[in-house]
Amino acid sequence: MQSEDKSDTPGRTVIDYDGDLKAGQTYRAAVRGDKVYELVFVPALKPRMHQSVSVDWTNLDEFPALRQLSLDAGERVIVFSVLSDKTTYMGGRRWDRVLLCKVVAVDAGQSAAPEGWRQIGTDKTISFLLPDDMKQTDAVGDETPIAEYANGRMRIMFEFRPWGLTAPRRGRRRARHVKGYREEEVRIDGKWAYLKTYSPSEKEKGQAYTAELMVVTKAWAPYVELLVTFTGNDASDLRVAERVFASIQFPAERAAPR
C-alpha cells in the first residue's frame, strides 16, 4: 500500500492500494513517511465529491457505520476518499470508496500497541498484537514450533511452517455447505493468506466461534508458512481475531551473502 498527496487541495490525501479492498479488513500503511495508520475499509460510506472529511468519535451521526469501530474516546477518525475504477457519465473517475484511518503509531517502523493491547515478537521473528489479558500457555508442538495464548474466553495458536499442511487451491472453497462459514483471500504483511471464519447459529449455542488464517510462502504456492487458529465464545471475539491477524508482521527478508 502506498499513500501520497496527489492533490493541490489542502487536507486531501489519496491512498493507492495494489489489491482488492475487503470490507472490515484492517490494512496498515505508512503515510508521509513518519506516521503509521491503521486503515479499515467501509464501502457503505460515500464521501462528498473530491472532499475528505475529519470527524470526532463523539459526533458520528453522519457516519452511522463508524459506530461499530472500537475507538477510544477522544480519538479522531480521518475519512480518506479513494479513487474508484468506475467513471462518471462525464468521463471522470468517481470518488466512492472510503478508508477510515486512525493513528496507531507515531514513528514508522515502530509498532506501538493501542491501549489494552501489547506487541509480541521482535524484528527477528514474526510480531503481532494481542489483548493484554491473553497469556502464553505451556502448549508445545510435536513436529513444528507453536505458540498459544489464552484468556479463558479466547484462545489463539500460532504454528510455524506446519508439517504436511498445504493451503487450498485459490478460488476453491472448502466448506460450501456450512452455514455461518466464510472464506476469503487476504494479504498479511504483503503475503497471500486464506482467512476462514465460522459463526454458529442461534440453534448451535455452545459451539465456538472460530477463525483460521493460513499464510503461504508465495502466491499460488501451497506451502503454509504460518497457520493461526482462533476460538472464542462470542461473535465479537472474531473481530479481535481479525485485528490480531491484520497486525502480523514478518521479519524483513535479508539478501543472501555474496
**What residue segments make up the domains of the chain, in order of their start?**
2-105, 117-247
Residue 253, pLDDT score: 60
Q: What's the predicted TM-score (pTM) here?
A: 0.55
Spell 78-101 as b/e; 16+ CB within 10 A means b.
bbbbbeeeeeeeeeeeebbbbbbb
Spell 10-38 as b/e; 16+ CB within 10 A means b.
eebbbbebeeebbeebbbbbebeeebbbb
Residue 192, pLDDT score: 82
Residue 158, pLDDT score: 94
CATH number of 117-247: 3.40.1000
Task: Round to whole Å and give the CA distance between 159 and 179.
Answer: 27
Spell 150-179 as b/e; 16+ CB within 10 A means b.
beeebbbbbbeebeeeebeeeeeeeeeeee
Task: Round to whole Å and give the CA distance between 88 and 67.
Answer: 30
Render each residue's pLDDT in the chain as its tens digit; 258 residues: 333 333 333 333 333 444 444 544 555 444 433 444 455 554 433 433 333 333 333 333 444 443 444 444 434 444 444 444 445 555 554 444 444 444 333 333 444 567 788 888 865 678 899 999 999 998 776 667 788 999 989 999 999 888 878 777 765 556 666 667 888 878 788 788 888 888 876 656 667 889 999 998 776 667 888 999 999 998 889 889 988 988 888 876 644 443
- Report which residue type is found at 43: P
Nearest Cα to Cα of residue 30 among 108, 106, 97, 85: 108
Residue 217, pLDDT score: 75
